[in-house]
Structure 1
Amino acid sequence: MSRNRTYVMEESVPLPRKRVWELLSHTDHLNRVIGLFPVLFDAAEQGEAGLYRRAAAKAFGLVPMRWKEYPFEWVKHESYAVTRLYEGGPLRSFYGGIRLFDAPPPAEGRQGEVSGTIVRLFAQFESAGLLGRLAVPLIGKASMKNTLAYLTRYLEINPAGFVQETAGTRLVGSALAPAGSEIGLAREEAGAGAEAGFSFQRQAAQEIPLHSASDPLPAIARLPQPRQRDAVNVDELRRLLLKLSEFPLPRRLLPLLGAHLREAGDDEVIDMRPYVLADQWNVSREETLRLFLYATHTGITNLSWHLLCPNCRVSKADTGSLAGIRRLFHCDFCGITYEAGFDKHVELCFSVHPVIRRAVKQTYCVGGPSLSPHIHAQAYLNPGQQVTLYIPDAPGETLRLRVLKQNHTVHVNIGWPESEPGESRGELAASTYGSPPILIRYNGQFRLAEPVQTVPGQALLLENGSAAAAVIALERSEWEDLVVTAAKVTTLPEFRAMFSSEVLAPGEQVGVENVTVLFSDLSGSTSFYEQVGDARAYGQVRRHFAYLAGHIEQHQGSIVKTIGDAVMAVFQKPEQGVMAALDIQRHVASFHDGLPPGERIAIKLGLQNGPAIAVCSNDRLDYFGRTVNLAARNQGQSLGGDMVISQACADQPAVRSVLASYRAEEEHFEAEMKGFSEKMALVRIRPRQVGQAISDPQRGN
């Protein structure tokens, strides 16, 4: 009896390819549901046959299995496959995956209409001994049948209207090659194996249902789930949601959170990403982030910090506190040691609290395409092997080719070819298929001028001219905006108010590529204390702190600390800081209402954006560096009733838009700054309507 078995199963489903891809490329979740087993993976290794991980599992909890798992190959929205070489046990090798094709339209359908997707599953097994020959037909075929049943179950649990709405839609740019073409992964046919100012505003608590009457969870969030899941403490969840309702949050979010924590799988309630869920729920990302911060404060969720590799963009380590973050981290898969930067590499995630649900963190797959959504295609090339990939429909986007582990890259720009009058984008893209491919040879390096100029549909012929196997990925250069970064969340007033203990370990320094720092001070504060007396002046200063905090928080900023009469605040974006500063100066007249002239104050503001170092100082998260020093020096140039920023900051498009909308007056000048050798180009900015009751800004300090 032959040791080799090949199985192919095919079925048409009334869903577009993009939706089917989203479902089946989420292999970690899929494997849970179809009855496969949790796996332990070792660090990545480079062997003679290329990059791989050693993996181990127990089939049915009894039969031990060990194997080498090679990186997945895929073309987004088209196909994926994986190779496993077993070390002992009932199997020698496995090669399998999926292929997706547009189903032909019905006879009466319109030209170009798509009625669904043909899903083809394929698997090649090489058994070892009698046990393997007996097990393959049972386990292998069952897993494939369960995969198709997974799609059927998805259709059953989601609204029919959703399916009807999406089934006939042809998604632009959903493929790297024409529908039905032989692309990338041809191995199936070839038979290849192997602090301050913030306060909570509570509101009356109201009963929160665990499900919204309008069934708010969209279909993409309702994935099929394993039959057995840990019980949810519904009474405690309901009690804590009631407590959560006392905080200033949109009420529509609470049932969404409750339903998700109750109905989703373990993998979906561990390491939850607020922006991803916000997009699935069709709600504000910022409101959803605030929801999770308040939920953690209430005891519904816990937070954790994840270190993301700058190359593969996958979490390499996690810690329950900022104090656990170290400056340097290593990615075994990419073979690089990198500095953990707050802007991109430190992500905040949330997990359900064990008192609500004891979700278990297990791994079923580490290499599936859904873990790397920025990768359009990934191919495994033996020495001398060629593979053809196609440029996606993403004009203006910059891609790059990257060799995994070796980290050699070449950038690829996507433009549009010249079009004929009346020619659509789809026709334009289609016209490039069949044109001569661009040959890109890898000889241990990419030796060609870059960036490579391409158009949608252009073929890239990759050739591995090196002496070792190589895995090459075609990926987006830019990061997705789905990550809640440490740089973002640590500037929020809610975070600093509720999680003041979240600081870096003493002595640790983490870089922030871009942060906006605002410094304030009072003009003539010394004479002010002399004129009105210490007690009355101090009261005014405290009121002024609250006034500043209100405008800073309104624009998503946070006060880091107060220094005498001064305030230091941070924002994620410069336009947020500029708007806060303009509003502070525009509305200062209202702050002076009812005050005699001698008790009115003038506020000086300076702002700077740029890189900084985040550290723990006096048990709080603080910032140091050139940007912080320049912000303080800019404030020293302020006369009161204005703000001073750098010319470079003022020239940023988002800041220019803010200045135009506020009709702000600008005065451009240069100044020498203490501690800096060169003169600085600065801009003094005044809003057109500044409160008139301001102390003489020229009086001395």
Structure 2
Amino acid sequence: MSMKLRCKMNQKAADKIAAFLTNVSDRLLFHIPLYEIGKAFDIPREKILDIFIQGVYDGVFILEWIYHCPTCGHVVYEASSLQQASSQNFCTVCNKVFNNTLDTNIEVCFSIHPRLKTLDPAFKLNYIADMGKSIRNGKYRTWDTPDAIKGVEIIQNNLYRELMRSEVLIGDQVLPLKNATVLFADVINSTKLYASLDDRKTFSLLKEYTCILSDTIEKCGGVPVKTIGAAVMGTFIDPGKAFNAAVKALRYLMKHTQNKPIQEQLEIKIGLHSGPMLAVTLNNRLDYVGLTVNSTIDIKDTALPNEIVISEALFNNRSVKRAILSVTDTVQKQQIRFKGNPDNHTLYHIKIQNRSRKNR
């Protein structure tokens, strides 16, 4: 069997993986342990996931969505596409109905494509049988290890969203996330800008800013979900990366504006919040909705120019606290209740200084 894998950012890593998989046993080609392989070759999780997603697109691998019982871990449903997603399933072992969640009980596995090698059906049968044996012995959720690929890691992968655009939830289908971080960044007074500059110049300027914001979100490990006017929404699995993205975006844009005419020196405000949300399809693209998303918009609106405002959920995160201390020793606390929102919010306002100005 010959194999060719592609990777725009690290072709050498892709070549190493291809050479390795060409000489392994058939058993290892079923539910390939890509994160374990990545550690062996010193390839970061994000990079090796990109290599395998590109491989799916190129017809080297197949991708399977596996729905486990959240209690015992039994496999209750399998699908080859996100379009076949199931919001709810029944576990015959636990004898109960449960809701599926992208970051808790949905696993994604990669195997060799049948056109390259036909695997023995016994591999899958043994996989199910071994899991059943573990459950009978009182060992639950044996699939859920640090090297397991959760469904959220796939839909939060930018290459997957780029290459598999047709992989969306169908109709009213939704899949919850137990916890994710939302970032909303918005250019201040964009409407007034149209009045002071001509439409074409304003549109070009706002597009320049939103592109910078989207690029920063992606480079920091998040997904730029959408642009709404002069605002950009991004989502992250890791709240620490979300906060770092906000700081980098704000600093870069402040530096970017220094040499522009005064009327083009735009300011932005950023809000961050973590919590549960729903993955849905809007405008034929994967999107997120829910109270957490709406609250992030409200949080963003409390920010002053060139300020980041975060919720208490983020402030209590260790990696975020460390990141805050690296940029400022002054944080302003605010208690607020938003209109139409049943929750009271404790917010933390963080003013970011432009390093170049500070060092002058």
TM-score of the superposed pair, with normalisation by structure 2? 0.90
Q: Which amino acid aligns with 2:63?
A: L
Q: CA deviation at 1:599?
A: 0.8
Query: 1:327 maps to what in 2?
Result: 87
Q: CA deviation at 1:283?
A: 3.6
Query: 2:45 maps to what in 1?
Result: 285
Verify: 1:569 aligned to 2:234, yes or no. Answer: yes
Query: 1:345 maps to what in 2?
Result: 105
Instruction: Trace 1:645-684 onto structure 2 (pairs within 5 A).
Output: 645-663=310-328, 665-684=330-349
Instruction: Trace 1:462-541 onto structure 2 (pairs within 5 A).
Output: 471-473=136-138, 479-541=144-206
Unaligned runs of 5+ in 1: 1-231, 379-403, 405-470, 694-701
Q: CA deviation at 1:505?
A: 1.7
642 and 625 in structure 1: CA distance in 2 versus 1, 3 angstrom threshold: same
Instruction: Trace 1:92-241 onto structure 2 (pairs within 5 A).
Output: 232=1, 234=2, 237=3, 240-241=4-5
Alignment deviations for residues 325-380 of structure 1 (CA, whole Å, 9 cap, x no partner) = 111112323333221100121122222233333334334535666x48xx9xx6xx
Question: Does the CA-based 8 Å contact 2:71-2:141 persist in structure 1?
Answer: no
Give the Cα separation in 2 of the matches to 1:658 and 1:546: 24
More helix by share: 2
Q: Which amino acid aligns with 2:84?
A: G
Verify: 1:598 aligned to 2:263, yes or no. Answer: yes
**DSSP 3-state at the match of 1:681:** strand
Q: CA deviation at 1:476?
A: 8.2
**DSSP 3-state at the match of 1:644:** strand
Give the Cα separation in 1 of the matches to 2:281 and 2:141: 35
Give the Cα separation in 2 of the matches to 1:303 and 1:366: 16
279 and 308 in structure 1: CA distance in 2 versus 1, 3 angstrom threshold: farther
Verify: 1:557 aligned to 2:318, yes or no. Answer: no
Alignment deviations for residues 673-696 of structure 1 (CA, whole Å, 9 cap, x no partner) = 121245421111122436769xxx
Query: 1:365 maps to what in 2?
Result: 126
Q: Which amino acid aligns with 2:60?
A: I
Alignment deviations for residues 305-334 of structure 1 (CA, whole Å, 9 cap, x no partner) = 111221232433221211101111123233
Alignment deviations for residues 620-677 of structure 1 (CA, whole Å, 9 cap, x no partner) = 1111111011101011111220111112321221211111223364111122312124
Question: Does the CA-based 8 Å contact 2:73-2:142 persist in structure 1?
Answer: no
Give the Cα separation in 1 of the matches to 2:178 and 2:350: 25
Residue 633 (structure 1) aligned to one of 298, 306, 315? 298
| Identical pairs, percent | 24
Give the Cα separation in 2 of the matches to 1:565 and 1:477: 46
Alignment deviations for residues 443-494 of structure 1 (CA, whole Å, 9 cap, x no partner) = xxxxxxxxxxxxxxxxxxxxxxxxxxxx552568994222211222222222
Moved more, 332-341 or 581-590: 332-341
**DSSP 3-state at the match of 1:343:** coil
Q: CA deviation at 1:565?
A: 1.2
Residue 257 (structure 1) aligned to one of 18, 28, 33? 18
Q: CA deviation at 1:281?
A: 4.3
Give the Cα separation in 2 of the matches to 1:593 and 1:639: 19
279 and 692 in structure 1: CA distance in 2 versus 1, 3 angstrom threshold: closer
Q: Which amino acid aligns with 1:256?
A: I
350 and 297 in structure 1: CA distance in 2 versus 1, 3 angstrom threshold: same
How many residue pairs align between the two structures? 357
663 and 479 in structure 1: CA distance in 2 versus 1, 3 angstrom threshold: farther
**DSSP 3-state at the match of 2:138:** strand
Give the Cα separation in 2 of the matches to 1:270 and 1:251: 24
Alignment deviations for residues 537-583 of structure 1 (CA, whole Å, 9 cap, x no partner) = 11011111210122101211011111111111110121111110011
Question: Does the CA-based 8 Å contact 1:504-1:621 persist in structure 2?
Answer: yes
TM-score of the superposed pair, with normalisation by structure 1? 0.48
691 and 502 in structure 1: CA distance in 2 versus 1, 3 angstrom threshold: farther
367 and 543 in structure 1: CA distance in 2 versus 1, 3 angstrom threshold: closer
More strand by share: 1
Question: Does the CA-based 8 Å contact 2:74-2:93 persist in structure 1?
Answer: no
Q: CA deviation at 1:518?
A: 1.0
Unaligned runs of 5+ in 2: none
Question: Does the CA-based 8 Å contact 2:273-2:313 persist in structure 1?
Answer: no
Give the Cα separation in 2 of the matches to 1:259 and 1:478: 24
Q: CA deviation at 1:254?
A: 2.0
Verify: 1:299 aligned to 2:53, yes or no. Answer: no
Q: CA deviation at 1:274?
A: 2.4
632 and 275 in structure 1: CA distance in 2 versus 1, 3 angstrom threshold: same
Give the Cα separation in 2 of the matches to 1:528 and 1:690: 26
Question: Does the CA-based 8 Å contact 1:490-1:496 persist in structure 2?
Answer: yes
**DSSP 3-state at the match of 1:252:** helix
Q: Which amino acid aligns with 1:275?
A: Y
Give the Cα separation in 2 of the matches to 1:286 and 1:664: 32
Query: 1:184 maps to what in 2?
Result: none
Q: CA deviation at 1:521?
A: 1.2
Residue 114 (structure 2) aligned to one of 354, 370, 386? 354
**DSSP 3-state at the match of 2:145:** coil
Residue 247 (structure 2) aligned to one of 568, 582, 587? 582
635 and 353 in structure 1: CA distance in 2 versus 1, 3 angstrom threshold: same
Give the Cα separation in 2 of the matches to 1:368 and 1:628: 41
Verify: 1:615 aligned to 2:284, yes or no. Answer: no
Question: Does the CA-based 8 Å contact 1:665-1:688 persist in structure 2?
Answer: no
361 and 555 in structure 1: CA distance in 2 versus 1, 3 angstrom threshold: farther
Query: 1:624 maps to what in 2?
Result: 289
**DSSP 3-state at the match of 1:251:** helix
**DSSP 3-state at the match of 1:473:** coil
Q: CA deviation at 1:298?
A: 2.9
**DSSP 3-state at the match of 1:351:** strand
Verify: 1:644 aligned to 2:309, yes or no. Answer: yes
**DSSP 3-state at the match of 1:567:** strand
CA RMSD of aligned residues (A): 2.6
Higher relative contact order (CA 8 A, sep 6+): 2
Verify: 1:270 aligned to 2:30, yes or no. Answer: yes
Alignment deviations for residues 173-212 of structure 1 (CA, whole Å, 9 cap, x no partner) = xxxxxxxxxxxxxxxxxxxxxxxxxxxxxxxxxxxxxxxx
Give the Cα separation in 2 of the matches to 1:540 and 1:691: 22
Question: Does the CA-based 8 Å contact 1:607-1:635 persist in structure 2?
Answer: yes
Alignment deviations for residues 365-420 of structure 1 (CA, whole Å, 9 cap, x no partner) = 35666x48xx9xx6xxxxxxxxxxxxxxxxxxxxxxxxx5xxxxxxxxxxxxxxxx
Question: Does the CA-based 8 Å contact 1:585-1:641 persist in structure 2?
Answer: yes
Higher Cα Rg, which structure = 1
**DSSP 3-state at the match of 2:31:** coil
366 and 259 in structure 1: CA distance in 2 versus 1, 3 angstrom threshold: closer
Give the Cα separation in 2 of the matches to 1:627 and 1:641: 22
Q: Which amino acid aligns with 1:525?
A: S
Q: CA deviation at 1:602?
A: 0.6
Give the Cα separation in 1 of the matches to 2:103 and 2:350: 28
474 and 366 in structure 1: CA distance in 2 versus 1, 3 angstrom threshold: closer
